[in-house]
Chain A
């Protein structure tokens, strides 16, 4: 394989960003569609190259292709090379990222049609995708960090795409600053690792961790620092607060952020540096516990949200928690397999929400209802994705979720039960959304939606529906890749399920008690949602009233936004410590400076009185001085 092909995977979308921002936007302002085509072509080529790279990696026995790297910086012992890792992990990731991004770009043409920022939108989308592709390919921590922050920049620009809305500008800023807080830990870990190992190279770090020459507390601290970065990017507790607000961006952006880029980066990072975690029990347990807790914590908030995108946002946080749980208890393959499946159905759910918004002009489920009749394609694909997310056999979500549950049961019983309750919640909130949105009667719609859509509900154009259908098919079949254990095996994880045929694996799983239990729990969740929101056998309002304090707590998101923004940032820092600093600066330090100045001038004023201009006074003073000196001289000599 030519060694420059993997470089092209992220350089082509980067080129698209440069072409659009330097050429198309300034000089072809009247032809916005061109930007869309350029973006789709470039990401399409990336996608083809990604598949080709994947094929090559599968064909190589050790699932790894060496790419020569180049020197970037050399100062003393600081020697930074930049290069790429092409192995099973990065090959799978580039395929997911480029494929999902491609479908979202196609869809965006319809969704963003007529938006004045069309050029800008596709430029940012190209940049965002390029950075994510670079991130998964980077072979050392510095190079990875470059893209890591690039992804953060992309999300900042896209969440704040409609910057004239204060809410969007706030959400963008919040996303960047919260994730940067995590990045602080990541950066510290990079420095720490370099201090102890003298290298940034990921494969060298793997070797060092495996050889055991980096162990104990040092390794634990390094792994925890890296995990802090992952917690920020993947919106895990306690840095989860930015993701629900990130829906202020255009919906296809949310689809991309939630599915393939940005939040996936955190999970990927842990997987990429997994040998470091593997050799630290504390770090691995932390990953599992944070993941398991986040899964149920976020799902609980998803139960009560009325905004369809917020429901999906909490579901993402919860599913990312699952991935972390999978990584923490079972290894790379489990987490990445769920990431892989999740990418398709979550992208589809957001595109579905976008399609609904395109039709109704709102994201508030209370103003929707009955849309299944006017939007059959959206309805069907949305239901398929919801079933997949709920983990219903034989859709993709079932397979990865089941694996994670199994490994959690082996690892930690408490985490297993948390995960099982989350299965119930997930099924419930997803079908609550399905029933509220598509069943019952249409409850009006607002005319002022994003991008100025609205009016009478209608099915979206083909350019939006086709990507949804493709994602719908993927949401069904992507999980089958591991029916025979092939996916796990490819990622270096031998499983018990390996060794049997496809059909046997597909149906045989139904004889496992765990699978039946999880299916039953998910089914109960769907049933309850059906009872409450479709049939209305149980009144949701009554339930809400019965559990008023719980409901309020969930609806207010456990008051984390208030705690972080009002209490910590505003009260404690800006109006507290920093206000003291500012006052200290103005009054004490600068006051001292001005005090010295005025002290000198008043001293001058005092001394000036001595200069009376009378010669007699001067003469007497001089004589007194001479006498004084003479006396001193006499006394001390």
Chain B
């Protein structure tokens, strides 16, 4: 069966590309990007094939598909175990999609391009590995691997206080991972298995430490990544100082590892604990949304503004997850996907504005709509998607999350939290429109005369984003029909 290895192929194609780039010293620096593009494109095409082949029938609910399982470390019963279900498949597609576009975004990287693209491809593999792993040790391995390429990408190709931000990012995440590893180990000692599939919903053995403690050990690791207030301060620094493609992947796919982990590990393995502490989580989610939006409104640096907006938008993911209803969990997963492409595009646009105008400070920008009309139009579309305009993926995701949360029966007072969260959309409109006005509107400035607009490669890249945003916005069922396959079993576990 040739199809048996399709997930491995998707996960490892990028890193094979990285090895090819690294091992072919004769390769012309300009050709490197074509090699990178080729490998990411094939990975993307394969993930679409998986999406196409994915069994959406009723009896496939709760079953992993395209599974691959090989015994890996017999001593601890660890397996090389990959598989996708309705939760992970959208994340895999998101990552392979962003992988292609990240290469296009980096088309004009001049500094050490071979290393750059090799790290970028390595990064893609590690994130894909997280989304496909069904064994906790394998999951953790990929989780940690991701730090290495990201560290180099930020500290070498970044800007501003890049060394500080890179180190901060690594240490912050490692601190979170330390808790997570402790959680994984306690789980292993309590049950003797590392398989996520086996652990899901059958945790009735007597644990070493209280279940809630295990839950929170794991949760902290994911909370750093999502990020959840007050563990979010690595994000603005890392996003702001990372090179554009790394910001795109950071905001687009990396944050989703946190949300995905919460659903896949915290909620799936500890449904009872999740229910018990849902109130706290939902409250934190509202803080994320409103506090994040408030801080965003104070930002003067264009890139930092977008970075903080992610904190706010990830609050909706947290809200949807811990509202613990079927619809809200679908909404949260869709919001992860939507935020991935919308914020991915926003960072790509910030990168373009900065690359062309060499300016990121909102006080010094203005009137650029005349000089860069295409960038202005696409930036506006991205902004509108971010503020949840109907017809874009942002609305579909937020709306489903809100409906699901509001009508959830799992959490007390959830209606009040949801309404507070809904108020976030007013603040979002505020900072997005304020930002667009500061960058593009007003009288054209002489200092920006002659700055170029988007070129052909840029256009291909950003228009692809726009098409994806509109597609999911106008017909969200294309994804929700898959996502609900993964959510349905959780609802049964939760007993709702």
Number of interface residues of B (CB under 8 A): 56
Would you give the 0/1 interface string for B453-490, flagging 1 where the beta carbon is closer than 8 Å to chain A? 00000000000000000000001110011001000000
In the complex, which residues of chain A have a beta carbon less than 8 angstroms from the beta carbon of B209? none
Cβ of B390 under 8 Å from chain A: yes
> Are the C-beta atoms of A180 and B426 separated by less than 8 Å?
yes
Q: How many angstroms between the C-alpha atoms of A188 and B399 in the bound complex?
A: 11
Q: Which residue of chain B has its CB nearest to the CB of A591?
A: B233
> Are the C-beta atoms of A166 and B291 separated by less than 8 Å?
no
> Are the C-beta atoms of A581 and B295 separated by less than 8 Å?
yes
Give chain A nearest CB distance to B373 CB in angstroms: 10
Cβ of A538 under 8 Å from chain B: no
Cβ of B327 under 8 Å from chain A: yes
Would you give the 0/1 interface string for A53-77, flagging 1 where the beta carbon is closer than 8 Å to chain B? 0000000000000000001111111
In the complex, which residues of chain B have a beta carbon less than 8 angstroms from the beta carbon of A146? 390-391, 395
Would you give the 0/1 interface string for A129-159, flagging 1 where the beta carbon is closer than 8 Å to chain B? 0000000000000100111111001001000
Cβ of B230 under 8 Å from chain A: yes
Cβ of A285 under 8 Å from chain B: no
Give chain A nearest CB distance to B317 CB in angstroms: 16
Q: Which of A169-177, A486-494, A527-535 faces chain B?
A: A169-177
> Are the C-beta atoms of B327 and A77 separated by less than 8 Å?
yes
> Are the C-beta atoms of B402 and A78 separated by less than 8 Å?
no
Q: How many angstroms between the C-alpha atoms of A192 and B416 in the bound complex?
A: 11
In the complex, which residues of chain B have a beta carbon less than 8 angstroms from the beta carbon of A169? 437, 441-442
> Are the C-beta atoms of A585 and B295 separated by less than 8 Å?
yes
Give chain B nearest CB distance to A233 CB in angstroms: 14
Among B171, B295, B429, B440, which residue has its beta carbon within 8 angstroms of that of A597? Answer: B171
In the complex, which residues of chain B have a beta carbon less than 8 angstroms from the beta carbon of A574? 297-298
Cβ of B193 under 8 Å from chain A: no
Q: How many angstroms between the C-alpha atoms of A188 and B415 in the bound complex?
A: 10
Cβ of B422 under 8 Å from chain A: yes
Cβ of B418 under 8 Å from chain A: yes
In the complex, which residues of chain A have a beta carbon less than 8 angstroms from the beta carbon of B475? 72
> Are the C-beta atoms of B441 and A164 separated by less than 8 Å?
yes
In the complex, which residues of chain A have a beta carbon less than 8 angstroms from the beta carbon of B404? 75, 78
Cβ of A547 under 8 Å from chain B: no
In the complex, which residues of chain A have a beta carbon less than 8 angstroms from the beta carbon of B326? 75-77
Among A75, A176, A192, A579, which residue has its beta carbon within 8 angstroms of that of B400? Answer: A75
Q: How many angstroms between the C-alpha atoms of A194 and B405 in the bound complex?
A: 12
Cβ of B360 under 8 Å from chain A: no
> Are the C-beta atoms of B391 and A166 separated by less than 8 Å?
no
In the complex, which residues of chain A have a beta carbon less than 8 angstroms from the beta carbon of B233? 585, 589-590, 593
Q: Which residue of chain B has its CB nearest to the CB of A577?
A: B294
> Are the C-beta atoms of A142 and B440 separated by less than 8 Å?
no
Q: How many angstroms between the C-alpha atoms of A149 and B291 in the bound complex?
A: 25
Give chain A nearest CB distance to B240 CB in angstroms: 13
Cβ of A163 under 8 Å from chain B: yes
Cβ of A191 under 8 Å from chain B: yes
Give chain A nearest CB distance to B370 CB in angstroms: 7
> Are the C-beta atoms of B327 and A75 separated by less than 8 Å?
yes
Chain B residues 197 to 254 lying within 8 A of chain A, measured CB to CB, are: 230, 232-234
In the complex, which residues of chain A have a beta carbon less than 8 angstroms from the beta carbon of B442? 163-166, 169
Give chain A nearest CB distance to B460 CB in angstroms: 15
Give chain A nearest CB distance to B416 CB in angstroms: 11
> Are the C-beta atoms of A153 and B389 separated by less than 8 Å?
yes
Q: How many angstroms between the C-alpha atoms of A160 and B442 in the bound complex?
A: 10
Give chain B nearest CB distance to A1 CB in angstroms: 26
Q: How many angstroms between the C-alpha atoms of A150 and B326 in the bound complex?
A: 29
Most A CB contacts (10 A, CB to CB) among B325, B384, B389, B400 go to: B389
Most B CB contacts (10 A, CB to CB) among A74, A148, A187, A195 go to: A187
> Are the C-beta atoms of A192 and B406 separated by less than 8 Å?
yes
> Are the C-beta atoms of B440 and A149 separated by less than 8 Å?
no
Number of interface residues of A (CB under 8 A): 51
Give chain B nearest CB distance to A587 CB in angstroms: 11
Give chain A nearest CB distance to B466 CB in angstroms: 11
Would you give the 0/1 interface string for B383-423, flagging 1 where the beta carbon is closer than 8 Å to chain A? 01000011100010001101110110000000100110011
Would you give the 0/1 interface string for A549-589, flagging 1 where the beta carbon is closer than 8 Å to chain B? 00000000000000000000000011001110110010001
Q: Which residue of chain A has its CB nearest to the CB of B430?
A: A177
Among B370, B426, B477, which residue has its beta carbon within 8 angstroms of that of A72? Answer: B477
Would you give the 0/1 interface string for B95-133, flagging 1 where the beta carbon is closer than 8 Å to chain A? 000000000000000000000000000000000000000
In the complex, which residues of chain B have a beta carbon less than 8 angstroms from the beta carbon of A72? 475, 477
Q: How many angstroms between the C-alpha atoms of A153 and B298 in the bound complex?
A: 25
Q: How many angstroms between the C-alpha atoms of A148 and B326 in the bound complex?
A: 27
Cβ of A52 under 8 Å from chain B: no
Q: How many angstroms between the C-alpha atoms of A579 and B297 in the bound complex?
A: 9
Give chain A nearest CB distance to B407 CB in angstroms: 5
Cβ of B425 under 8 Å from chain A: yes
> Are the C-beta atoms of B407 and A145 separated by less than 8 Å?
no
Most B CB contacts (10 A, CB to CB) among A75, A581, A590 go to: A75
Q: How many angstroms between the C-alpha atoms of A582 and B233 in the bound complex?
A: 11
Among B399, B407, B423, B425, which residue has its beta carbon within 8 angstroms of that of A195? Answer: B407
* Known interface pairs A78-B404, A169-B437; A187-B297 also in contact (CB < 8 Å): no
Most A CB contacts (10 A, CB to CB) among B298, B443, B484 go to: B298
Q: How many angstroms between the C-alpha atoms of A581 and B299 in the bound complex?
A: 11
> Are the C-beta atoms of A184 and B441 separated by less than 8 Å?
no
> Are the C-beta atoms of A184 and B406 separated by less than 8 Å?
no
In the complex, which residues of chain B have a beta carbon less than 8 angstroms from the beta carbon of A195? 406-407, 415
Q: How many angstroms between the C-alpha atoms of A593 and B172 in the bound complex?
A: 9
In the complex, which residues of chain A have a beta carbon less than 8 angstroms from the beta carbon of B425? 180, 183-184, 187
Among B171, B294, B418, B437, which residue has its beta carbon within 8 angstroms of that of A170? Answer: B437
Q: How many angstroms between the C-alpha atoms of A164 and B370 in the bound complex?
A: 8
* Known interface pairs A582-B298, A585-B233; A164-B291 also in contact (CB < 8 Å): no
Cβ of B166 under 8 Å from chain A: no
Give chain A nearest CB distance to B486 CB in angstroms: 12
> Are the C-beta atoms of A191 and B230 separated by less than 8 Å?
no
Q: How many angstroms between the C-alpha atoms of A468 and B330 in the bound complex?
A: 52
Q: Which residue of chain B has its CB nearest to the CB of A597?
A: B171
Give chain B nearest CB distance to A362 CB in angstroms: 21
> Are the C-beta atoms of A173 and B434 separated by less than 8 Å?
yes
In the complex, which residues of chain B have a beta carbon less than 8 angstroms from the beta carbon of A71? 477
Q: How many angstroms between the C-alpha atoms of A195 and B327 in the bound complex?
A: 12
> Are the C-beta atoms of A187 and B441 separated by less than 8 Å?
no
Cβ of B367 under 8 Å from chain A: yes
Q: Which residue of chain A has its CB nearest to the CB of B366?
A: A166
Q: How many angstroms between the C-alpha atoms of A216 and B207 in the bound complex?
A: 50
> Are the C-beta atoms of B444 and A164 separated by less than 8 Å?
yes
In the complex, which residues of chain A have a beta carbon less than 8 angstroms from the beta carbon of B370? 164
> Are the C-beta atoms of B429 and A177 separated by less than 8 Å?
yes
Q: Which residue of chain A has its CB nearest to the CB of B443?
A: A164
Give chain A nearest CB distance to B439 CB in angstroms: 11
Give chain B nearest CB distance to A91 CB in angstroms: 24
Cβ of A181 under 8 Å from chain B: yes
Q: Which residue of chain A has its CB nearest to the CB of B380?
A: A157
Cβ of B269 under 8 Å from chain A: no
Give chain B nearest CB distance to A8 CB in angstroms: 18
Chain A residues 75 to 107 lying within 8 A of chain B, measured CB to CB, are: 75-78
- Which 4 pairs, one residue from A and one from B, show the smallest C-beta to C-beta distance? A169-B441, A146-B390, A578-B294, A582-B298
Q: A146-B395, A169-B442, A573-B294 are in contact. List 17 more A-B contacts (CB 8 A).
A: A75-B327, A78-B327, A149-B390, A173-B433, A176-B429, A187-B422, A191-B403, A191-B406, A191-B418, A194-B407, A573-B297, A578-B295, A579-B298, A581-B291, A585-B291, A589-B230, A593-B172
Q: List 27 A-B contacts (CB under 8 A).
A: A75-B330, A76-B325, A77-B326, A149-B389, A150-B389, A150-B390, A160-B441, A163-B441, A169-B437, A169-B441, A169-B442, A173-B433, A176-B429, A177-B426, A177-B430, A180-B426, A184-B425, A184-B426, A188-B422, A191-B407, A191-B418, A192-B406, A195-B407, A578-B295, A578-B298, A589-B233, A593-B168
Q: Could you tell me which B residues sit within 8 Å of A by CB distance? A: 168, 171-172, 230, 232-234, 291, 294-295, 297-299, 325-327, 330, 367, 369-370, 384, 389-391, 395, 399-400, 402-404, 406-407, 415, 418-419, 422-423, 425-426, 429-430, 433-434, 437, 440-444, 475-477, 480-481, 484, 491
